[in-house]
Each structure stands twice: as C-alpha cells, then as structure tokens.
C-alpha cells in the first residue's frame, strides 16, 4: 500500500493530472501514465492514483491488477521528483499481463513522462 501522502484521492486531483494544463502522458498496449506538476505542490511528496476500469476484467481481475500496479509503483516512488502527480491507467490487456510485463511497461512510460516534465530520472 502507498503511504497516505502519496495517494491521489479526489476526482479533481485525478482530472488535474490527466487533463490539466502542462500535463503529459505516454501509453502502451498495457498502460497509460499521465503526469502533472504545479508550482503549488512544489516541495510536497509525489502522489499517484490508479484507474482500472471494468474493461480490464471482473472485480477479481481489476483488484489483482491494481494490487500489482501499487506494488510496482511503491518500489519506484523514491525516484519521482517532489510535487509531481501521476495517474496510472490500465488498458484492457493489463488484466492478463504478468507482473513482469507490467513492470517493463511501467518503467518505460514512467521515465518518458518524467523526462517530458523535466524531472531527473
């Protein structure tokens, strides 16, 4: 589980990260990663949210996918610059992917969006 200061919770926080001015995204067959940084959050810990829709699968598959993604993100959170909000969205193929496949996709997309924001990764 991610620590409370590192979680996106409100709809407005997700909307800002996904559609806000200055936000960026990168996608693959398995995942889409959205990133957003504002001066208002400068110096605060990075936050991450997850979107796993019913298109990914039933409740068991969605929960398993979210659990895998949370564990992968928790391992990588230390390299995210302060003040960055990230949203990880699972595409339907993520429901049948292994943890290793999710890790490879997440790493590639994670680094791509953080480079676009100007963060050192």
DSSP 79-111: GSPTTEEEEEEE-GGGGG--HHHHHHHHHHHHH
| Rounded Cα–Cα distance for residues 1 and 40 (Å) | 26
- Res 65: pLDDT: 98
- Give domain status of residue 104, yes or no: yes
Q: Which residues contact 109 (CB under 8 A, 6 or more apart)?
A: 26, 27, 28, 31, 32, 33
21-47 mean pLDDT: 90
102-106 mean pLDDT: 97
Residue 101 clears pLDDT 70, i.e. is over it: yes
Range of the domain at 70: 4-116
- Give domain status of residue 62, yes or no: yes
Beta bridge partners of 51: 89
Beta bridge partners of 26: 33
How many domains in the chain? 1
**Sheet with 47-52: strands ordered across:** 24-27, 31-37, 84-90, 47-52
Compute and round to an integer the Cα radius of gyration of the chain. Answer: 13
- Give domain status of residue 12, yes or no: yes
- Res 22: pLDDT: 85
- Res 119: pLDDT: 55
pLDDT-derived band at 37, boundaries 50, 70, 90: confident
- Give domain status of residue 121, yes or no: no
Residue 40 clears pLDDT 80, i.e. is over it: no
27-38 mean pLDDT: 94
CATH at 45: 3.30.230.10
């Amino acid at each position: 589980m991610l620590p409370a200061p590192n979680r996106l919770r409100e709809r407005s926080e997700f909307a800002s990260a996904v559609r806000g001015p200055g936000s960026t995204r990168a996608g693959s067959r398995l995942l889409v990663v959205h990133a957003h940084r504002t001066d208002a959050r400068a110096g605060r810990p990075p936050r991450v949210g997850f979107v796993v829709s019913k298109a990914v699968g039933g409740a068991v598959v969605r929960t398993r996918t979210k659990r895998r993604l949370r564990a992968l993100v928790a391992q990588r959170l230390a390299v995210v610059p302060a003040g960055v909000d990230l949203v990880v969205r699972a595409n339907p193929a993520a429901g049948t992917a292994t943890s290793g496949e999710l890790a490879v996709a997440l790493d590639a997309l994670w680094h791509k969006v953080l480079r676009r924001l100007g963060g050192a990764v």
